[in-house]
Structure 1
Amino acid sequence: MEKYHEIVRIHETFMKEAALLNEYKNKVIKGENDLQLCQNKVDKSESEINSQQNIILKLKEQLTDKSTNLENCQVQLKSLDSTLIEKGKNIKALNSRLIEKDENIKRLSENIKSNKEHQKTLELELEKSKSIIIKHENDIQLCRLENNKLNRISENIREEQKKIQLKLTENETKLSQSELDMLSPTTCLPFGDYSGVYELNVSGIGLFDVLCDSQLAGPGWIVIQQRVGGDENFNRDWATYRKGFGSFESDFFLGLEKIHRITSLQRFELYIHLVAQNGRTYNARYDDFKISDEDNGYALSLGKFNGTIEGSMRKHENMKFTTFDHDNDKVDNGNCAVWGKSGWWYNSCSYCNLNTPYGSLYCWNYGTILLKEVKMLIRPKEAMKK
């Protein structure tokens, strides 16, 4: 609307200048008419001069007899000369005014041309703005539809949970495995193809939120680590890595104890999603991912590899987790977490550290790929075969 109002103002300015131009044209026409009148007067004066000259000639012939008349004629001649001089000055002034008006007309024409070009530019910008607005409105509509869809799914989940709770209150003890999963989910599988933050209930921890992902590699994945923007500091102590930190909307680490409790329930697979600085994507998949309990240092197990890039993650298998205040690496002198500025399953020190400070995620495959985005996801292995 601001662009539209500005176009209206420019149009009004254009109309005013056009009216002024017409006024100048009328004045020029009037000046030309005046000039023509002056020219007529000049012609008339020239005729009079010729007539007077004839009279002078006659007077000269009669000079001896009509000296008095000659003096009178001389006076009249001088008067006519003065009139001619005055008329000449007037003609010169009119010519100057005509030149000035021509210059004004030229300047106004240039302004009109410039205003037209500016108007075209504003119209193009207005069209672009309209296109952007329409796209935003479409995006908003899609978001609303997706949000309504998720709300319906959540409502269905709550209804299913209510039905299961009702069965329990009616002493109907025979519940299917899917009903048990819906009542107290321990993974993201019950939520199907719908990504988002959901609540799990895992023995030893209780209720806690996780980020479920169904976009990267199919349904049912729990995101345990995410690096997508560099908003989070991963140089944390043991207690913080044990509990977890960060935001599901940006960078986060789910927590060593949660990951241990989840992977101790059944066999899990690990899916690592990698995006390079040049935009290319890679993935690495391991079929038996788990970490041990805290007494054993949350040691890492991977299983068999499958994916598009076999990196150096294997170098860290069976290693305990290390932070700057909990040294479990194989280096005798020093702490790899201090050197790497992050907690990780260090060997001596890191071959692939996906928690390293953002902007230096280049450890995958011995530093040949510089990364800008990393996600680690887990999902029950056997559940996907049923």
Structure 2
Amino acid sequence: MGRIKFNGVLLLMVLQIFLVTTTTGNETCESDQIMKEQCHIHTYKTVKPLLDYIRQVRNELKQGETKENQISKLNSDLMEKYHEIVRIHETFMKEAALLNEYKNKVIKGNNDLQLCQNKVDKSESEISSQQNIILKLGKQLSINYKSTNLENCQFQLKSLNSRLIKKDENIKGFSEIIKNNTEHQKTLELELEKSKSILIKHEQDIQLCRSEMNKLNSTSENIREEQKKIQLQLNESETKLIDKVKENQLCQSKLDKLTPTTCISFRENTGVHQLNVSGIGLFNVLCDSQLAGPGWIVIQQRVGGNENFNRDWATYRKGFGSFESDFFLGLEKIHRITSLQRFELYIHLVAENGSTYNVRYDDFKISDEDNGYALSLSKFNKTIIGDGMIYSGNMKFSTFDHDNDKNDYVNCADIHKNGWWYAYGFDCPLNAPYTYLRWCDDRYTSLKEVKMLIRPKEAMTK
């Protein structure tokens, strides 16, 4: 009996707690305000990297022509934030639906509790009725000693005891149901509070995001205005730059007219002078006016054997050596010079015995690099020695790393340790090692000095 009363009181306390909880919802406003401020701080920390990123984009937009692309990227980021807000709103709607579902479950739990209470009350009423019957039977037993009535009473007593045991078991079951419903109700209330806090935080996030979107939109307008100003400045700078380039081109044109392209302008002034040739620009050459008159450019010189002429293609292309000793002017420079006009070639030879020989070719030039700096010679002017370059005409230049000769078995430049216009290897390379330097005519004259000079053909008529 005491257990039944205790369970009933417990049920009433649970109902009162639930009613108090539902009626004091307004009293949590103060705690919700604190939570709102904390959520605001957390949201600011979350949005702060985005603000820093926007400031960085604003600074970068001021630095060059990539500002428009960065503004487009910023707009794309804003659209992503907008879509994120839409997703958050959808989440809110789902949370609201879940809250309604939790409320329905709570209401259903309350109804179940009320049904259980009704069953308990009914059971207590039945137990009280049965106890009254037992008391009445006890009185009858004390008055009446008849064996038949006693047996009936005993049978009824046993029946009542079994029914009481069954009622106790039912009460235990109902108590477990009430306990489970109470725990489930507490769980639902916790989830409800959690969902409310999440909903408040999301609403604050939406407000902050909307505020930031408004700021970003105004910032984008300012950036566009600044971009227009910068574009105007760039246009002005570009105009000034174009004017400056034109001035430089004009100055360069005047300088080109003042700077000679051959040694003819220096007349009798033998020595190192500067030429200006299209495609190369300014470079130094050795002018010679003593061996065969004024205007000669020395393109190759062997006067001491101090320079190694076994060089690769890149070195022969650029040129090497010293104007004061042995040198080779460079295939690219020779090509650029001889492409301007018609040149003649003069070769000055000094034999080991001191004898001096001179060789002339009326037309001399070499092609560009794509054609292998091929040699073009015409009209050998006969002297007391023969034509030692008869096999080199129309041949491409060869080095140990560029085999352009006609010999299918060996690289003549690699075998003879120098670069030259080789045909089959029977040529007369004036770039040969100093101890093997020869003029390859019918006498194979050994040499100790060689100079190759070129001059515009028109200089002969002046």
Runs of 4+ in 1 over 4 A off after TM superposition: none
Cα distance in 1 for partners of 2:343, 2:439 equals 24
Map of 1:127-206 to 2, 5 A cutoff? 183-206=258-281
Unpaired runs of 5+ residues, structure 1, are 1-167
| 2:418 aligned with 1:358 | no
Moved more, 367-376 or 215-224: 367-376
> Could you tell me which amino acid in structure 2 is paired with residue 203 of structure 1?
S
1:282-301 superposed Cα distances (whole Å, 9 cap, x missing partner) = 01100110000001100001
Q: Deviations over 1:119-167 (max 9, x none)?
A: xxxxxxxxxxxxxxxxxxxxxxxxxxxxxxxxxxxxxxxxxxxxxxxxx
SS at match of 1:212: strand
Task: Output the amino acid matched with 2:446.
Answer: L
CA change 1:310–1:328 in 2 (3 A) is same
Q: Indicate the SS of the match to 1:315.
A: coil
Aligned residue for 1:262, secondary structure, equals: helix
Q: 1:366 to 1:331 in 2, by over 3 A?
A: farther
CA distance in 2, matches of 1:341, 1:297: 19
1:299–1:319 Cα contact (<8 Å) kept: yes
Shift of 1:311: 2.3
For 1:221, the equivalent position in structure 2 comes to 296
- 1:279 paired to 2:335: no
Q: What whole-Å deviation, never above 9, does each CA across 1:14-58 have from its counterpart, x for those lacking one?
A: xxxxxxxxxxxxxxxxxxxxxxxxxxxxxxxxxxxxxxxxxxxxx
Question: 1:382 deviation in Å?
Answer: 1.4
Q: Deviations over 1:259-304 (max 9, x none)?
A: 0000000000000000000100101100110000001100001111
Q: How far is the alpha carbon of 1:307 from its aligned partner?
A: 4.5
2-structure distance, mates of 1:345, 1:220: 25
Unaligned runs of 5+ in 2: 1-246
Query: Does 2:409 align with 1:297?
Result: no
Q: 1:224, 1:253 within 8 Å by CA — same for their partners in 2? A: yes
* 2:430–2:450 contact (8 Å) kept in structure 1: yes
SS at match of 2:360: strand
1:316 paired to 2:410: no
**What is the aligned partner in structure 1 of residue 308 from structure 2?**
233
* Partner Cα distance (2:388, 2:300) in 1: 18
Pick from 260, 265, 281: which aligns with 2:335? Answer: 260
Measure the CA separation in 1 of the matches of 2:460 and 2:415: 40
**Residue 246 of structure 1: which of 317, 321, 342 is its match?**
321
1:282-336 CA distances to partner (integer Å, 9 max, x unpaired)?
0110011000000110000111111523322111100000000000001101100
Tell me the percent identity.
73
Q: 1:261 to 1:377 in 2, by over 3 A?
A: same
Equivalents in 1 of 2:268, 2:345: separation in Å? 18
RMSD across aligned C-alpha pairs, in angstroms? Answer: 2.3
Opposite residue 329 of structure 1, the aligned amino acid is D
How far, CA to CA, are the matches of 2:295 and 2:272 in structure 1? Answer: 12
How has the CA–CA distance of structure 1 residues 351 and 366 changed in structure 2, closer, same or farther, with 3 Å as cutoff?
farther
State the shift of 1:367 in Å: 5.3
- Measure how far apart 1:385 and its partner are: 1.3
SS of match in other structure, 1:324: coil
Greater C-alpha Rg:
2
**Residue 379 and residue 358 in structure 1: after superposition, are their counterparts in 2 closer, same or farther (change >3 A)?**
same
Q: Deviations over 1:175-212 (max 9, x none)?
A: 9xxx976x121000000011000000000000000000
Measure, in 2, the Cα distance between the counterparts of 1:301 and 1:205.
21
Cα contact 2:380–2:387 (8 A) shared by 1? no
Query: 1:50-72: CA deviations, max 9, x gaps?
Result: xxxxxxxxxxxxxxxxxxxxxxx
Alignment match, 1:270: 345
CA distance in 1, matches of 2:386, 2:265: 31
Task: Work out the CA distance in 1 between the residues paired with 2:256 and 2:382.
Answer: 33
The normalised TM-score by structure 2 is: 0.44
Return closer, same or farther for 1:299/1:333 CA change in 2, 3 Å cut-off: same
Structure 2 counterpart of 1:313, one-letter code: M
Number of residue pairs the alignment of both structures matches: 213
How far apart are the structure 2 equivalents of 1:199 and 1:303? 29
Aligned pairs for 1:76-155 within 5 A: none
Please tell me whether residue 370 in structure 1 is matched to residue 426 in structure 2: no
**Residue aligning to 1:211:** 286
Q: CA deviation at 1:350?
A: 3.5
Report the counterpart of residue 40 of structure 1 in structure 2: none
Counterparts of 1:374 and 1:256, CA distance in 2: 18
TM-score, length basis structure 1: 0.53
Cα separation, 2, equivalents of 1:344 and 1:333: 17
Q: What one-letter code is carried by the residue in structure 1 that aligns with 2:408?
A: D
Compared CA separation, residues 317 and 275, structure 1 to 2 (3 A):
same
Pair 1:385-2:458 in alignment: no
Query: Equivalent residue of 2:414, what SS?
Result: helix
The match for 1:129 is none
